[in-house]
Amino acid sequence: MSSPFLLKPCDAKVTQAIKNLNATFNGINTGEDETSSLNTGASQGVTEGSTEARNRNVAKPLSGLGLAVKDLFDIEGLPTAAGNPDWLATHPVPKSTNSCVASMLKAGAAFKGKTITDELAYSLHGQNKHYETLVNPAAPAHIPGGSSSGSAVAVSAHLADIGLGTDTGGSIRVPSSYQGLWGLRTTHGAIPCDNMVALAPSFDTVGWMTRDLDTLSKVANVCLDSAAQSDIPNKPRLGIATHLFEQIAHKSLCQTWLNAFEDSNNCIALSETRLDLNTLQTAATFRTLQGNEIWQQHGEWIENTQPNIANDIMLRLDWCKTITTQDVEEAKAQRTVVINHLNVLFEEIDVLVIPTTPGVAPRCDADETTLANDRNALLALTAIAGLAGLPQLHLPLFTLHNAPCGLSLVGKKGNDLALLALAKTLTTR
């Protein structure tokens, strides 16, 4: 199986930077043998500096949990490549660490390495031509999903316990679905996006993936400000987007699961007219606004550097350049329509239940047309939370044709922790 880790311990600067991280955040010294395990996936052994340091580390909420970090997050002393060698060559080694990474390390998480991402994070498929192809451990014949694919693979392959990533257009939710992981896209703005490579700031969020809900919740309690969170009623009104479930490959699995708790929960079936994604133009609206911001962020660098970027991503970047002011204004107006529509909907429901993806991951040998169609279908679903800045939690409940899939809970802004609590209730009944 290919390694999702980008950094190798043979680089003396990298080795020293990892030692510095351990010393700074956990008060421990890591020996040479243990440093090697950071990138090979072996269990990390740690030489404690003192009994006091050992006791202090055990008490931390993320103690003993390995952390894989998407290569968009800056970490002091470690290069950030954003999935592209030309980006790496034209940007200095960071002198600061992203605040979310720092919080997790301070909470005792053991840094395992930085992970491969799709170039500039502008994809949902987890395929990067510059690095060895990532294998989806849960379904090797299928793509891993992107762009937080490396972090997802690290967790799915038990090389790490926490996969830190970003979600702009679905890059936490999609790999979580494709690899059978729990995944949380947080409320937009709930976690600062400092010291990291942006894609489209109006949509960029920090998120993470784990193999179990308890670990996902532990990370959430470390990274989210509980004072800024809001509750969901004890008996929430669950709005089931029935027409969306009818359109997906795993509809029978979803329906069976939903039917099982329908009698004991306040479920409201939402007809197509209540959430018509075609009429709301979720995919097209998101694509235009995201594309415009991407070009604002990276257009100058692309034109000046002429980087070597995969053809499919470069085609989308070239299209981003053509987006007009009128296109943006029309898309902003439609985004307002979508937000207003969802606000009205959330007056009648507390949580929206939707498919995360249209089905299992496409096969590795899928042609470009199939992958493009998959991306378009994904965006229609993922843009619901994206356009409105809402939190979305993926539940890895099902397997279809030996590949994972699931569904999602979407809440109001600030419902992140409440969604986790609800998911625990729904999955332990």
Query: Under DSSP, is residue 135 helix (H, G, I), strand (E, B) or coil?
Result: coil
Is-catalytic flag, 147? yes
Integer Cα distance of 408 and 223 in angstroms:
21
For residue 299, what is the enclosing H or E element? helix 282-305
Q: What tokens were used for 190?
A: 């709930």
Contact indicator for 379, 283 with CB cutoff of 8 Å: yes
d(CA 320, CA 338): 22
The one catalytic residue among 3, 123, 147, 217: 147
* Adjacent-strand bridge partners of 340: none
For the residues of 136-159, what is the DSSP string, one character each?
A: -TT-TTB---SSSHHHHHHHHTTS
What's the CA gap between 245 and 397, in Å, rounded?
14
User: Does the annotation count 50 as an active-site position?
Assistant: no
Q: How far is C-alpha 239 from the chain's CA centre?
A: 24
Among 37, 148, 156, 171, which one carries the catalytic annotation? 171
Cis peptide before 147, with omega less than 30 degrees from 0?
yes
Distance CA 236, CA 416 (A): 15
Catalytic residue selected from 3, 19, 37, 70: 70
Give catalytic residues, as residue numbers. 70, 147, 171
